[in-house]
Structure 1
Amino acid sequence: MNARNAGESRNTARRVIISLAVAIVLLGGLGVAGVSLWSHYGPAISQALGWTTNDYEGEGKGETVIVITEGEIGEDIAKTLADADVVKTSEAFYELLLEQDPAVEFMPGSYRVKLQMSSQAALDALQDPANRMAFTAMIPEGKTVAQTLEIVSAGADIPLEELQQAAAAPPSTYGVPEGIDSLEGWLFPATYEFEENTTGAEAIQRLVSEQISVLEGAGVAPDQRERILTIASIVQREGGRIEDFPKVARVIDNRLAQDMKLQMDSTAQYGMGQHEDGNVWSTDEALADDNPWNTYVHKGLPKGPIANPGKDAIQAAGSPAAGDWLYFVAINLDTGESVFTNTVEEHEAATAKLREWCDANPGKGC
């Protein structure tokens, strides 16, 4: 999309939103109807009318690290910045990119930036070579092996092909128990600083060793580590808020105890290679596909981990919360708020809340 088309789209959206504002004002006397409409469309209307903004102001505060990998485009980078709360919304940053002439080019790597920066300040920071951290990789929780290797390559300046070749070695090469055929789940997510001449195998060994250390610290016996990592990886991908991780782990345990299918969308998406789509809803094709990770088709846990979990998810998998929940669903993808329930009827009611949120927040993971 070029800048002109983007501008025309924004003008059209503004006219539609202003029309909605008029409708809501007219419906104000209807009480519940007016409140419901405003709860859905009020934030967008406030922004369109200039009452609020989708961008932060100023140079920001605090500090974080974001990673730009090879092949990422402006939309990808905008989402990364928004997810990390570097910018307020991905839309504000992406719209700024569309206005740049010549177009901005980003160098892969790890960048030290502040939180809650204006989009312009964030763009300036990413264009400043002084903010690029040499031989440093920040790996977020919930990334797969393939995604993790891309991040390490970009941050540590190790050729991706070298890392992929090293990852193809038997996992036991790096201290993973015999019989496990994948490093999925075994690369601990954290910020790493590497030496200049670190090899691909050395980088992978460091990540695996850190994950083993975390498992040892959590008291997980070697013969239970793959199982705990599998549960933790689902918790990591499904749990919206850290405080809910033990509840998600309890739902998994309860469903396993009752011989129910787990029916976790994250496993179906992983099995179909759709885990990078960023959509909370799974396709019918993914839900029906007969692969060993799809818990909509097969009972029990998936074949193995579906991502690399962090310490909080691992602790939750080993110590689930007390409760009899059998279902949960996110009802706000911005905050990660989820509702935990015991019956199908309660779950369907909670799912309806998610659909309402998705209707009011298009393009935010729905």
Structure 2
Amino acid sequence: MKFLRWLAVLVLLIVIVGGYVAYRLSQPYATFDSETFVDFAKGTTTMEMARFLERAGVIAHAWEFLAIRALEPKRALKAGEYQFNKPASAFEVYDRIARGDVFYHVLLIPEGSNMFDIGAAAERLKLFSSADFLQVARDPSMIRDLDPAAPSLEGYLFPSSYRLDRHTTPSRLCRLMTSQFREVWKQLNSNANVHDAVTLASLIEREARLSQERPMMSSVFQNRLKIGMKLDCDPTTIYAALLENRYRGVIHQSDLANESAYNTYRHAGLPPGPIANAGKDSLLAALHPDETGYLYFVLRPDGSGGHNFSRSIAEHQVATAQFRRANHRQEIEKSAPRRIPAGKKTRVRHGA
């Protein structure tokens, strides 16, 4: 009888302890303020992970993490940096680390972004300062083997979505982006001069608003290059102003008269290097232009983003006049007072 009594007591104790442990492991816990980060290097042991989590205030006691490890010994725990921004149970914490739910920033770089845009985007994510990024991006050594004439990494920082941890440096980001460019360029399987193709693609990317117009726009630039005609590309004047840290959102007459080698209103031929980072479609358009006799283009007045293409200056002047008239009408409509239709009453509200 004594044995049975002691066995009953032992079973009761096991049930109580097990219930307590299950309760502790399922209760949300946090002693950090708004968020905390825990970084596990490769090779970190389970015991070390448990202690790091306890010190960071993510779990109450290291034994909780170790207890779950004993229950789930086959699940591999993943190295990396983890963000915790709300109370979570030890089970939830363990599950996140077993799934490898590591923290990363998503840096989205649209096609046509330049190195100034990329630096500003990285700074907004608080990865590093724009100035630090530009210092690395102005050094073309990463792509010197591909383009010995490149004045910087501009044009080779391929636009895409990048998953970055908090420890990403400007150098690492530039290497990721130039590596992505190399992959895309390899897919294009071209023997063309890389420098000229990438430079032309950057102009196409900045001018074209509709994807289907890119090969046609490419033909305009290439037709002009063949006859030695200046490209007169507005985005090149903007880029020249950016390099001189004086662009304020509008092209001025002084920008058009600027003697910068990037200003295609003053100098025939391509600029010294790319003015932006083109996507794959613009690279393809630079390599495979349409065969046309067009030398000019101007935006259509319908707001579609498409362009009117012309072979002669006379045709171009007509298209330009149409665009300006449409713009003028829109400005008048915006500034004109609203008319109230006859028979309609207006309501006047008083107070908040």
TM-score by length of 1: 0.57
Q: CA deviation at 1:362?
A: 4.2
Q: CA deviation at 1:172?
A: 3.4
Is the Cα–Cα contact under 8 Å of residues 172 and 178 in structure 1 kept in the other structure? no
1:330 and 2:299 aligned: yes
Alignment of 1:1-366 (within 5 A): 134-155=104-125, 157-172=127-142, 176-221=146-191, 224-273=193-242, 282-332=251-301, 334-362=303-331
Is the Cα–Cα contact under 8 Å of residues 295 and 311 in structure 2 kept in the other structure? yes
Q: Per the alignment, in what secondary structure is the counterpart of residue 272 of structure 2?
A: coil
Is the Cα–Cα contact under 8 Å of residues 187 and 204 in structure 1 kept in the other structure? yes
Q: Per the alignment, in what secondary structure is the counterpart of residue 111 of structure 2?
A: coil
CA distance in 2, matches of 1:157, 1:333: 41
258-267 vs 156-165, which deviates more? 156-165
TM-score by length of 2: 0.59
Is the Cα–Cα contact under 8 Å of residues 203 and 275 in structure 2 kept in the other structure? yes
Is the Cα–Cα contact under 8 Å of residues 135 and 156 in structure 1 kept in the other structure? no
Q: Alignment length, in residue pairs? A: 228
Q: Per the alignment, in what secondary structure is the counterpart of residue 136 of structure 1?
A: strand
Q: CA deviation at 1:268?
A: 2.1
- Runs of 5+ unmatched residues, structure 2: 1-102, 333-352
Is the Cα–Cα contact under 8 Å of residues 185 and 307 in structure 1 kept in the other structure? yes
Q: State the Cα deviation string for residues 232-270 of structure 1 (Å, max 9, x = none).
A: 111011112111110110001111111211111221222
Residue identity matched to 1:352: A
CA distance in 1, matches of 2:247, 2:110: 14
Give the 3 Å change call, closer, same or farther, for CA 187–333 of structure 1 in structure 2: farther
Residue identity matched to 2:169: T
Residue of structure 1 equivalent to 2:42? none
Q: CA deviation at 1:200?
A: 1.7
Residue of structure 2 equivalent to 1:37? none
Is the Cα–Cα contact under 8 Å of residues 240 and 330 in structure 1 kept in the other structure? no
Is the Cα–Cα contact under 8 Å of residues 142 and 175 in structure 2 kept in the other structure? no
Q: Per the alignment, in what secondary structure is the counterpart of residue 232 of structure 2?
A: coil
Q: CA deviation at 1:330?
A: 0.8
CA distance in 1, matches of 2:138, 2:246: 21
CA distance in 2, matches of 1:360, 1:185: 38
- Runs of 5+ unmatched residues, structure 1: 1-132
Q: Per the alignment, in what secondary structure is the counterpart of residue 206 of structure 1?
A: helix
Is the Cα–Cα contact under 8 Å of residues 296 and 310 in structure 2 kept in the other structure? yes
Give the 3 Å change call, closer, same or farther, for CA 150–296 of structure 1 in structure 2: same
RMSD, aligned α-carbons: 2.5
Give the 3 Å change call, closer, same or farther, for CA 197–315 of structure 1 in structure 2: same
Larger Rg: 2
Is the Cα–Cα contact under 8 Å of residues 261 and 299 in structure 1 kept in the other structure? yes
Residue identity matched to 1:296: Y
CA distance in 2, matches of 1:299, 1:218: 28
Is the Cα–Cα contact under 8 Å of residues 134 and 156 in structure 1 kept in the other structure? no
Is the Cα–Cα contact under 8 Å of residues 266 and 275 in structure 1 kept in the other structure? no
Q: State the Cα deviation string for residues 130-157 of structure 1 (Å, max 9, x = none).
A: xxx9511111111111111221333372
Residue of structure 2 equivalent to 1:118? none
The percentage of aligned residue pairs carrying the same residue is 30
Is the Cα–Cα contact under 8 Å of residues 139 and 152 in structure 2 kept in the other structure? no
Give the 3 Å change call, closer, same or farther, for CA 152–248 of structure 1 in structure 2: same
Give the 3 Å change call, closer, same or farther, for CA 270–163 of structure 1 in structure 2: closer
Q: CA deviation at 1:179?
A: 3.6
178-187 vs 157-166, which deviates more? 157-166
